[in-house]
Amino acid sequence: MNRSTDTGRLASYAANDASSRGRQFPEPPPLYRSEYQRDRDRIIHSTAFRRLMYKTQVFVYDEGDLYRTRLTHSLEVAQIARSVAVALQLNEPLTEAIALAHDLGHTPFGHAGQDALNEAMRDYGGFEHNLQSLRVVDLLEEKYAEFPGLNLTFEAREGILKHCSLANACQLGELGQRFLDRRQPGLEAQLANLADEIAYNNHDVDDGLRAGLLSVEQLQETKLFRQPFAEVQRRYPRLPARRLIHETVRRMINRLITDLIEQSRTNLNAAAPASIEDVRAQSAPLITFSKTVGEQSRTLSRFLRQHLYYHSQVRRAAENADQVIKGLFSAYFKQPTLLPNTSTTADDTAARARQIADYIAGMTDRFALREYQRLTGGSVSLSGTA
């Protein structure tokens, strides 16, 4: 058998094919790739992954060709996570799989769409995009003859479900148990979580400046931006504005990644876990920033929340997104036959609501807008302009 598992390059505390908790539906092992490479490949070939190309990160698709989408964001998270995984001798294919899949359950229109769908589902269990990502890979993808979903390994599914309410955790069996017992996920899952934070914070800075919703002067309130910006200005005093911003953002990302690697190494040396189960038994994550850099990252997050995510133009787009999501939900709930492949009975309201949520969450921005216009006769712009 010529399977590749990369065991020689893995630390003892990394996830390993040999100690995997396996798949929900047993399958023969792959011949020329590892189990986690198979997970990654299934995610990349999924329908939900392709749809991320036309799902909003912060700016909707018709505002410009260069803004991040959920797809480009996921690729950037994976790139960051893979670099750190190699440095820490973690399982790179598993880390990549988790990073690529972490937003598969996200709604159209970014966080505004998620909030609107959660409110619409308030009486039917709510909507959590992490849990929805798990539903996508466990149930909603329809590709294989012998099982629903993608039949990913336990470790990949564990990483995708980075947050979960206790009520939902109680229904997830072994996968939800760590939330009830307050245990940690594997290091690859911890890493993907912070790679997500690095990617969206720093690339939202880039997109916010490109859109004119943030200014360099505002951003200099944050140390994480101010220091590298001043360094680039000193070193390249005649650099054009776009290259100046790029050089600044790449230094911000480098500072965060370097700190994450060095602090995590310190944590791992102190805790000395001998296996992934030792990692899960820790009282706190072992993949972390240092205290100083972690606070700088949180300060940047707070800055972006105040000045970008709550900017009047972004909020106008969010209000329109709320109208579209709730309008779609109401139309489908009143007339379930509008849904494709309707399989719930008219009086099974909770099941009907969940089927509607699954359908809406899977939409791209542009499909949701077209469907809203078709069902309601209304036309909504998501550009955020007055």
The residue extents of the domains of the chain are: 7-106+130-311
Q: Kindly provide the b/e burial profile for residues 336-356, where b requires at least 16 CB atoms within 10 angstroms of the residue's own CB.
A: bebbeeeebeeeeeeebbbbb
CA distance 139 to 325: 22
Main-chain phi, psi angles of 23, to 5 degrees: -110, 160
Question: Rounded to 5 degrees, what angle do the CA atoms 228, 246, 384 make?
Answer: 110
Question: Are 300 and 222 contacting, i.e. CB atoms less than 8 angstroms apart?
Answer: yes
Determine the pLDDT at residue 91.
Answer: 98
Amino acid 136 reads V
Q: CA nearest 99: which of 60, 53, 43, 51?
A: 43
User: Residue 139: left (phi > 0), alpha (psi -120 to 50), or beta?
Assistant: alpha
What is this structure's pTM? 0.92
> 199 is written with which tokens?
């990617």
Residues in the chain, overall count: 386
Determine the pLDDT at residue 345.
Answer: 52
Judged on CB neighbours under 10 Å (0-12, 13-18, 19+), 111 is: middle
**pLDDT values of the chain reduced to their tens digit, one per residue, 386 residues:** 334 445 558 999 999 999 999 999 999 999 999 999 999 999 999 999 999 999 877 655 455 455 778 999 999 999 999 999 999 999 999 999 999 999 999 999 988 899 999 999 999 999 999 999 999 999 999 999 999 999 999 999 999 998 888 888 898 999 999 999 999 999 999 999 999 999 999 999 988 898 899 999 999 999 999 999 999 999 999 999 999 999 999 999 999 999 999 999 999 999 999 999 999 999 999 999 999 999 999 999 999 999 988 888 888 888 989 999 999 999 999 998 888 876 655 568 999 999 999 999 999 999 999 999 999 887 776 654 43
> 123 is written with which tokens?
């009486």
Question: Are 20 and 153 contacting, i.e. CB atoms less than 8 angstroms apart?
Answer: yes
Question: Are 287 and 262 contacting, i.e. CB atoms less than 8 angstroms apart?
Answer: no
Judged on CB neighbours under 10 Å (0-12, 13-18, 19+), 244 is: middle
CA distance 230 to 238: 13
CA distance 17 to 64: 42
Which residues lie below 8 Å from residue 158, measured CB to CB, with a gap of 6+? 175, 178, 185, 186, 189
CB 300: neighbour CB atoms within 10 A?
A: 23
CA distance 110 to 59: 8
Question: Are 15 and 93 contacting, i.e. CB atoms less than 8 angstroms apart?
Answer: no
CB 113: neighbour CB atoms within 10 A?
A: 27
Q: Kindly provide the b/e burial profile for residues 258-285, where b requires at least 16 CB atoms within 10 angstroms of the residue's own CB.
A: ebbbebbeebbeeeebeebeebbeeeeb
As a CATH number, domain 7-106+130-311 is 1.10.3210.10
Question: Are 274 and 13 contacting, i.e. CB atoms less than 8 angstroms apart?
Answer: yes
SS3 at position 11: coil
Using CA atoms in the order 337, 343, 345, 350, what is the torsion angle rounded to 10 degrees? -100
